[in-house]
Amino acid sequence: MTGAAIAGMHVTFPGTMRQDEVWDGYFQRHYDGPRRGLAKRIFANSGVVSRHGAVNPLVEDASSWSTARRMERYLTEALPLGKDAVAGALDAAGLRPDEIGLFVVCSCTGYATPGVDILLARDLGMAADTQRLFIGHMGCYAALPGLGAASDYVVSRGRPAVLLCLELTSLHVQPPSDDPQQIVAHALFSDAAAAVVLVPGPDGAGVADIAAVTDTATADHMTWDVTDLGFRMGLSPKVPDVLSIYVADLVGRLLEPVGLSPADVDGWAVHPGGPRILDVVRDRLALPESALAESRGTLAVHGNCSSPTVLLILDALRRRAGGPPRTTVALAFGPGLTLYGALLQL
């Protein structure tokens, strides 16, 4: 039985914006009056130094745009961004688009029919018999079930697969509100596209296992509602507390069957939903702060890009000085309230 090995990755971004410039030039006016002080503290403590936006609020104020207008812009921006990410990953893997058997696309920030999966497969030159899977509204953890579906296909069919995670959260800036959850979302979220190519490989290489747990009793802690003015995030401050209950058991389910403990893992790709989430994972797993260097660094440089973020961290780990880790645990969290984990091995 072969495994599913990662043969190529590529990440790409729209324009870069500095967090302090976005605050000074837009959000301090957006949150005028008594709420400005709270908003300023949230932006300053977000852990984000720079971020990316297909829609730059310093140039365009999308807060009053209809959902229809936002979806039209999504398609305009998503296609070149996704094409660049997938083409770069295929080049890194040394594969042609028409050699891909399955194309998985994750996105919760825009919709179109025909979907971006069809349009990108067409523009990239994938074969007519390439299978496609579109994953929507899973949010920040979507990359890991996407990775699981792609790896299962590679193992069962013996053909390459591509996973693309593409999010344009900048399209969904909301009208001014006193809701702290909206302020947090505006301080954290960013745009990106990340693609991974999986190919048949030696047993144990690449994706070794995927695990998940969902606490439906806390489903209202993280929401993503479609409104007439775009998609509106709900993000309870209780999310880190829920994660703290489940994360150690989830990691144990990944590691114990292969005789490993957290101390044996030399690569951690933890989705940085915010600084406090990283603190909770570090403390519950008894990790040194250095284990989260790539996760915190990704948050600082790129912000929370939703589903691509964990792939951005994996890419950073693969490029780190001293070579890539031999064993990596990837963790991501999202609506449900859902925790997903993946064990990756060289």
Which residues are marked as active site? 140
**Is 116 in contact with 85 (CB distance < 8 Å)?**
no
Nearest to 212 by CA among 313, 334, 295, 344: 334
Backbone dihedral region of 30: left (phi > 0), alpha (psi from -120 to 50 degrees) or beta?
A: alpha
Show the tokens assigned to 217.
């009793």
Six-digit token string for 61: 């104020």
- Count Cβ neighbours within 10 Å for each residue of 286-324 and write b for 16 or more, e otherwise: ebeeebbebbbbbbbbbbbbbbbbbbbbbbbbbeeeeeb
Helix pair angle (309-319, 293-302), 10° resolution: 120
d(CA 265, CA 344): 10
Q: How far, in Å, CA of 248 to CA of 64, rounded?
A: 42
Contact 162, 103 (CB under 8 A): yes
